[in-house]
Each structure stands twice: as structure tokens, then as C-alpha cells.
Chain A
């Protein structure tokens, strides 16, 4: 054990009698060989523990209880107070709460309306059919009124 570790232990667990099982022996071994740490340990006891020993306990003046009693008698009981705060929180109309509720209602309504008009899932075959229909409607094959094709080449190929 080095001096730094020994002094850290002296300032905490050694002074407060809280050393783990193996520590007293290790510290004792160090103190047996290190005069500076021995002096540090006895000085620590003298300066850090003795001044606090046997300081008298103070009696709290009765005036404190009188003031506390007066204070609590002028208040509702703590349980009633808690209930009333909960009631206020849940029931009282608060501008922010009201605004939040209205916004949520509007958003919900908007969402539901949007969902109602949403396009059907994509169906490639139906889309191709529809495209074909559009092409056919807007660009009909170049057919003459008699049902024949306008040129011999077209007639041959089509």
C-alpha cells in the first residue's frame, strides 16, 4: 500500500470505522513502516474527530412547534390538498389544455377525411388497362371510315 492510498483510507473508512475486512491489516502494515502516515493518522483523529466529539445537542425551542401547528391548522389537510390539486388539474378548463384538445380534434378529423379519399393500392395490371384505354380513346388507330387502313403498307402490317 502506498502513502496516498493509506491517507485516502485514513480520511474516510479508518476515521469512520468502516474499513472492509482485509483493509485494517494492510493499513496497519503500512503504518508500521511509515512514520509520516502514522503522524498523519493521529493528527487526523485529533483535528477531524475530537472537535466534533461531545458537542451538546440543542433542544429545539417550543416556539417552532407552535408556529408549525399554527401553520398547519390554517391549511387544509395534506390529503385533501392533494385531492383538490388533482381535481383542479383534471377538471379545471385551462386555456392550453382546451387549445390542445381542439387541435387534436381538428387533426383527427382531417386525418379521417384524408384516409377516406386515399387512392386504392397500386395495381399494375389495372393501371396498364387504364393506360391502354386512354391511348385508345385519345389516339385511335389510323383507320378510315370504311374500317380499312389508309395505306397499303399499314394494311399489310396492321
Chain B
């Protein structure tokens, strides 16, 4: 990820589009992937990512450097995605799409690899769809984005023990689902 300096942030806050583009390019991948995993489809992820960066642009002058810029942008993204889920979730959560176009690079890969990848995508989408928005957010930030417990706590503005507890409950739920599928109780 390209480093965003304080000078770039100040310039973007003053309305410099080129400076804001640097911020966008440095974070768009993180935000797009996070919102895609949280929302379960490309269209919503695209729409939410766009809204996130418009919000970032609008609020940049009030960014107080208390958290890192990345944590602050993650926070905006997660809040918007959770709001989106609460607003539209009930209908869409049940039909989390598995996007066959998910990675065009796979089009050239071996058929076995492609099938394995598609199966894995399906499993992940199915697992995430069964978690509450808060649990899903913790799993996405930890398992897919690789954030530490401290960074997740800063992003969600919760205690680190809350993060640990949400992860534990989410994983218990996922394991219970696995046991149900395999009929194996430990």
C-alpha cells in the first residue's frame, strides 16, 4: 500500500483532487474487499465503496489523527456496510451471491483450480451469511484483512475483549454449523 503522508491528507482536505486520489488508490482495495465480504455482492460493495470515499472526502478536515488514516477509513466503511446490512440485510443475506466473475484471472487457470476456488468462495459466502453483522465484521477484518485485535478494536471503537468475545462466538457458531453438516458432535 502506498504511504499517505500528512501533507497529502492536508492537501486533500483543502480540496486537492490529485492528493485525494492518492488516498483513494491506497485504500480502495482494502475497502472494496471488506465491503464485498460484508455485503456479499459486487454491486453493493461498489456502491458502498463509492459512498465511503465521498464521506472520507467530506469529513477529511475533521480527521484528528487520533487513529491512523487507514483505521479511520475502515471505521467509516464498516459503519456504512453495517448500516447497509441492517437496512437491506434481511432480504439479501439469504441470497448471498456467489459471483462467478469473482476473479477473471482464474479464467486462464486449470479447471481443477477454478472449481476448488469457486467451491471455497461458496463456502466463505455461506459461512459469513450466517453471522450477525458485528460477528461478520470481526471475522472479515481478522481472517481476510489480517487486522490485529487492537486494530479491530480501534476500527470498531470497542474494547479488545469485545473483539475477542465476538470472534469466539462467531467461530463457535461456524463450528456448530460444520458439526451439523457433518453430523459429528465433539
Q: In chain A between 113 and 140, which residues have their CB closer than 8 angstroms to a CB of chain B?
A: none
Q: Are A56 and B186 in contact (CB under 8 A)?
A: no
Expressed in whole angstroms, the Cα–Cα distance for A68 and B12 within the complex equals 13
B142 beta carbon closer than 8 Å to chain A: yes
Size of the chain A interface, CB-CB below 8 angstroms: 41
The number of inter-chain residue pairs (CB within 8 angstroms) is: 116
Known interface pairs A55-B121, A64-B28, A78-B13; A47-B178 also in contact (CB < 8 Å): yes
Complex interface: stretch among A8-16, A22-30, A102-110, A141-149: A8-16
Q: Chain B 44-78, CB within 8 Å of chain A: the 1/0 string? A: 00100110011001111110000000000000000
Expressed in whole angstroms, the Cα–Cα distance for A8 and B168 within the complex equals 7
Interface residues of B (CB under 8 A from A): 13-15, 17, 20-21, 24-25, 28-29, 31-33, 36, 46, 49-50, 53-54, 57-62, 102-103, 105-106, 117, 120-121, 123-124, 127, 139, 142-144, 148-149, 164, 167-168, 171-172, 174-175, 178, 186
Interface residues of A (CB under 8 A from B): 8, 11-13, 15-16, 18, 36, 39-40, 43-44, 47-49, 51-52, 55-61, 63-65, 67-69, 71-73, 75-82
